[in-house]
Amino acid sequence: MAPFPIDRPVFVGMHLVPQAYFCRLADIAGKIPALDDLSIKGRSSRQACDMVLSIDQEFRELTSLAPMSWWDVRPNEKKVTLDLVLQYFQQYFTARAHMQLALHNDRSNTYAYSHMVCTEACRDLAVRYAALRPLVLGGFFPVRLFDVQALTAAIFLLHTCYSPGSSQGMDSTRTPPSLVLIQQVVDSMDLASKAIGGGHFAQEAARTIRSLSALLSNNHSTDSRYVSLRVPLLGRIHIRRQDPNLTSEEFSTGSSALPPQMQEPESAASMQVLETGALANAMPLDGMTTDPNSWLMEISGVLPFLSHDAHAPDQSQMLGDFDTESFGFDQV
């Protein structure tokens, strides 16, 4: 028996039935933690992929119940609308369901569908965050939750831009759409950071995104070649300057490309965002580059059974800890 009543219509004509929609959304979202349980129990990654696709199908069915016009973002300049909040959380849960498979997508596009869905969900989340966050500048209890979810989406979108084989940089004359949306997220976080109460995390999140983006787009600096970043819901991210003599497979499957201090498990360090003027104050939105000295971004923490299950899709795993008080940003 479902823990939530899910048999009621979620729309009557063109009008949302909020409680019914929420119950359907919560029922589907409640199945996502089971993906993490699979990693603990060491189950087949085929089973994980099947579960992801099943959850995805339920989200799509829920989406189809709403009129197409309902999904248009129409921010109310005076108050938060329940429609916008429900849309926001549905995009987040969709991204959450697909994220680990998407992070393990490779040049052969083994998990191309999850990567595509997660990317689109993160983009849609960014659009809705930019519309939603200015309306809840202070005192509204989920604001930190909104911020950490938007931070996660922004980091994933950065990953899609700078990961090996990214297609977003093919047209150097046009800013990749993901970076435009990331800029909107940062602008909204900057605005939220000026509010009374509830703005500190938004400030730190904005500085993190801005610093990381500036670092990744800086192809001429020789000061550092490795960066380790701990992000809520994503875990540990390793960033290195691309070596033309090193294949992506050598980097992703071995630790030789990482500096010694990054090859051993690390505890979460308190976040110390880079504060140099160039990194902390500028959000570059230039196109991607094929410069062999550019930066590459990789997510670490592939579970052992993922690398041995050659005949099955990847396995979703725990998306890091939910520590909104501390990040880790170590540059070497």
CA distance 243 to 239: 12
User: Order of strands, edge to edge, in the sheet holding 328-331?
Assistant: 295-299, 235-241, 226-231, 328-331
Region of 165 please: left (phi>0), alpha (psi -120 to 50) or beta: left
Q: What is the pLDDT along the chain (332 residues), one digit of tens a residue?
A: 556 677 888 899 888 999 999 999 999 999 998 887 776 666 667 888 899 999 999 999 999 999 998 998 776 667 888 899 999 999 999 999 998 888 878 777 888 999 999 999 999 999 999 998 888 876 666 788 899 899 999 999 988 887 765 555 444 555 678 889 999 999 999 998 887 666 788 888 898 898 888 877 775 555 556 777 676 666 677 777 665 555 444 444 433 333 333 333 333 323 333 333 333 333 443 333 444 445 566 655 443 333 334 333 332 332 233 233 444 444 44
What residue spans define the domains of the chain?
Answer: 31-331
Would the pTM of this model clear 0.75, i.e. be above it? no
CA distance 71 to 94: 15
Q: Tell me, what's the pLDDT at 23?
A: 93
Q: Tell me, what's the pLDDT at 213?
A: 84
